[in-house]
Amino acid sequence: MSSKKKQGSTIDDAIHHFSFFILCSFLFVNIVIIGTAYPLRGGIAHYVALLAKYFLKAGHTVDVVSFKRQYPALLFPGKTQDESGDELFSLKAEMLIDSINPFNWLAVGNMLRARKPDIIIFKYWLPFFGPCYGTIAAIAKRNHHTKILMICDNIVPHEKRPGDKLFTSYAFHFSDYFLVQSDAVENDLLRLYPGSAYRKIPHPVYEIFGEEISKEDARKKLGISTEENIILFFGYVRVYKGLDVMLHAMKTIANVTLYVVGEFYDDEHHYRALAKQLQVDSSVRFVSDYIPNDEVKYYFSACNAVVLPYKSATQSGIAQIAFNFNKPVIATNVGGLAEIVPDGEAGYIIEPNAPEQCAKAVNTFFKEKKEDDFVARVKIEKKKYSWERLVDAICEMTETNNNGK
> Is the per-residue pLDDT at 9 higher than 50?
no
Structure confidence at residue 17 as a pLDDT band (50, 70, 90): low
Q: What is the mean pLDDT of the chain?
A: 88
Residue 100: the pLDDT is 95
Q: Is the pLDDT score of 201 beyond 80?
A: yes
The Cα 28–Cα 392 span in angstroms is: 12
Instruction: Give the whole-number percent of the chain exceeding pLDDT 90.
Output: 68
> Mean of the pLDDT values across residues 5-25?
48
pLDDT of residue 79 exceeding 90 = no
- How much is the average pLDDT of 375-395? 92
How many percent of the chain have pLDDT more than 70? 86
**Rounded average pLDDT over 213-223:** 97
Among 6-15, 287-296, 309-318, 360-369, top mean pLDDT goes to: 360-369
Work out the average pLDDT over 7-28. 50
Domains of the chain: 3-204+386-402 (3.40.50.11930), 215-383 (3.40.50.2000)
pTM reported for the whole predicted model = 0.81
Of 85-99, 101-115, 185-199, 209-223, give the lowest mean pLDDT range. Answer: 85-99
- Mean pLDDT of all residues in 301-314: 93
- Identify the pLDDT of residue 74: 67
- The answer to whether 327 touches 375, Cβ cutoff 8 Å, is yes
HSE-up of 242 (CA within 13 Å, CB side)? 24
Stretch 173-188: mean pLDDT: 94
Confidence bin at 336 (pLDDT 50/70/90)? confident
Of the given ranges (100-109, 291-300, 365-374), which has the lowest mean pLDDT? 291-300
Answer yes or no: are the C-beta atoms of 121 and 62 closer than 8 Å. Answer: no
Residue 84 above 80 pLDDT? Answer: no
Q: How confident is the model at residue 4 (pLDDT cuts 50, 70, 90)?
A: very low
pLDDT of 28 reads 60
| Least reliable range by pLDDT among 29-33, 105-109, 146-150 | 29-33
Asked if residue 258 lies in contact with residue 246, where contact means CB atoms within 8 angstroms, the answer is yes
pLDDT band, residue 184 (cuts 50/70/90): confident
